[in-house]
Structure formats: structure tokens, C-alpha cells
Structure 1
């Protein structure tokens, strides 16, 4: 029994190469699928991810069911991912190639139809994202971009943005100054005596 747990049933180099190859393939597939696939996982996306992990499992582990074989595969995946992430952080060209660039989907309160079609985004998905980011509707948006990581960044028009604590504090200071001036004016108008 203990022997089956630790005896790797295929060459370690083969296991590492299989893991790297499957990682690269999945990376390419997600890149071809586009940003929309990363933007928000719906039921269909979850089904694909669950099935995808099962489909590629045998490509990674082969006929090896040992504990040590699984550990080698897991360590290889984490190591390859760490190397790729660090590479992308240092090399903007590699990041652009592997991740893509941001796509503007709303400009000055109007949807960009070509961008929506190419990303397979529905206007209702954008409206939901705008509401999550404190807007009421698309008309309030100065610009919205779908980032390469699938995150939707929304910038509201200046007059549609919520007040910050600094804005409220500035109003308090101004009101206090107005009250002080009104008190001074009222004191000046009182009859002497």
C-alpha cells in the first residue's frame, strides 16, 4: 500500500512535460476565448471549467495514480504559473500578447456596439456592472473598459459620481464659514446699545 502512494508510475520528466504542455494549452484556449470568458462566470462557464479540469486530468497524470505523482503535477502547475506571472509583470510585450489589451465598451454614455459584439457581451451585463460600481445606468458612464483580466472598470461622468468624505468635509468647512459670516453680518446690523 505505501509503495503505491509514493512510487511514481511514469518518468518524472514526462509528468512535468505533460503538466507544462497542458498548462500552455489551457492558457492559449483561454486567450482565444477572450476577456469575456473571464469577466464573470455564469452557469455555462462553470460547467466548462469543471469539465475542462476532468478532461485534462488524464493528459497531466497519465496512468499514474500515485500520491507523489499528483504532488509532482501540482508543484509543476504552481511553479509554471508563478514563472509566467512574474514574466508578465516584467515584460509588457508578453503581457499584451498573452493577456491582450483593454477594450472600451462604453464611451460618453453610449455603448460601443462593435466592442460588445466582439466580446459577446450583452448590454444587460454592462448595466449590471455599472450598478455595482455606483452608477444608475449607462448614460452616467464617461468610459467603461473590459480589462484583459476580465474586470470591467467603469468611470462615471464627473457630475454623476458620489460625494467622497473629502467632498463632505469641504462642504462642512464652507457652511461653517458661511455661518460665521452671517453671524458677523447680523452682529454688525444690530443697533448699538
Structure 2
């Protein structure tokens, strides 16, 4: 049971020192890479954020990982994320590979069962997203879209003219 609750002061001072320096390094890297690095726009962004947190924890708690190694690992993750997002903005197939496409689950009063099955979404979940949007009557809903980040978007029906917010959404044959 030696060291279970307290090892020695040197270990604690080392953890504080490395923690502060790792934190400063992470903040600087994030500031250099831009706002997109910690966005939650899709599953890929979430994975990068979790990986950065895991790397930060490893730097703090693993004596076998130096501050320089950990900072390099965080810089590598941020650089790869920057490269992938930069490329995905410019190359359509990379964007689709990394983020997928939003899926139309409900359209003009109809649950799109095939799309719901493919997305592994139950009717109750779609209804819940509609209720969360403050809509009581399904007829008021133009569409429900499962976005690439896993969130539901509920689009109210209306007589508005102009470009549709559903452009680019994976829509099954709606005939």
C-alpha cells in the first residue's frame, strides 16, 4: 500500500510543473491552429478533441512520456486535423469520407423508414427531436435531418421562397 495515497513531494511538484507547461503548450497550439480544431462539427472533430484530452492526461500522469514527446504528439494530432479539414473543404470525396452526409429522416409528414433504419434511429427519437424544437403537430414539420455530428435538425414547414436548407442532404426518392 506504499505510495497509494502519497508517494513523495517531488512527484507532485513534477506533476504540477509538467501540467502547467503542457497546458500552456496546448493553448498555444490551439491558438496557432485556429478555432476549427476544437469544433464539434462532426464525429472526426470529436475524435480529435478526445485524443487531445487523452494525450494531455498521458503527459500529466505517465512518467515515461516527456513533456517534449507529449507536446509533439499534441502538435501532430492538431496538424493532422488541420490537414484533413483543409483538404475536406477543397476536395468533396475527402469531406464525404471524413464527415459523411446528413440524412433526411422525416419529410412532409412521412417517416422515411429506410433512411431511419440505415441511420439506426427510432421513430421515438425523431418525435423527441420535433418536440424539443417546440413543435406539437407533425404537419408543421417540413423535415428532420440527422446531421453529420449526430444532432437532429428540425425544419419547420412554410411558404418561404429561396434556397432550401435541405440542399446537400442525403434524400431518398421522395416521389
Q: What RMSD over aligned residues (CA atoms) do the two structures have, in Å?
A: 3.2
Q: Which has the higher contact order (CA 8 A, sep 6+)?
A: 1
Structure 1 unaligned regions, length at least 5:
6-34, 39-48, 160-193
Structure 2 unaligned regions, length at least 5:
1-9, 16-41, 44-48, 160-175
**1:86 maps to which residue?**
86
**Secondary structure of 1:142's aligned partner:** strand
**1:148 maps to which residue?**
148
Query: Runs in 1 of length 4+ with deviation above 6 angstroms?
Result: none
With the length of structure 1 as denominator, give the TM-score of the two structures.
Answer: 0.47
**1:101 maps to which residue?**
101
CA contact (8 A) 1:108 1:139 kept: yes
Counterparts of 1:103 and 1:97, CA distance in 2: 15
Q: How many residues were matched structurally?
A: 109
Q: Which has the higher helix share?
A: 1
**2:79 aligned with 1:73, yes or no?**
no
Structure whose CA Rg is larger: 1
Q: How does 1:11-90 map to 2 (within 5 A)?
A: 64-90=64-90
CA contact (8 A) 1:110 1:139 kept: no
Q: How does 1:104-143 map to 2 (within 5 A)?
A: 104-143=104-143
Report the CA distance between 1:81 and its aligned residue: 0.7
Counterparts of 2:63 and 2:112, CA distance in 1: 49
Cα deviation digits, residues 87-113 of structure 1 (max 9, x gap): 111222211222222211001112111
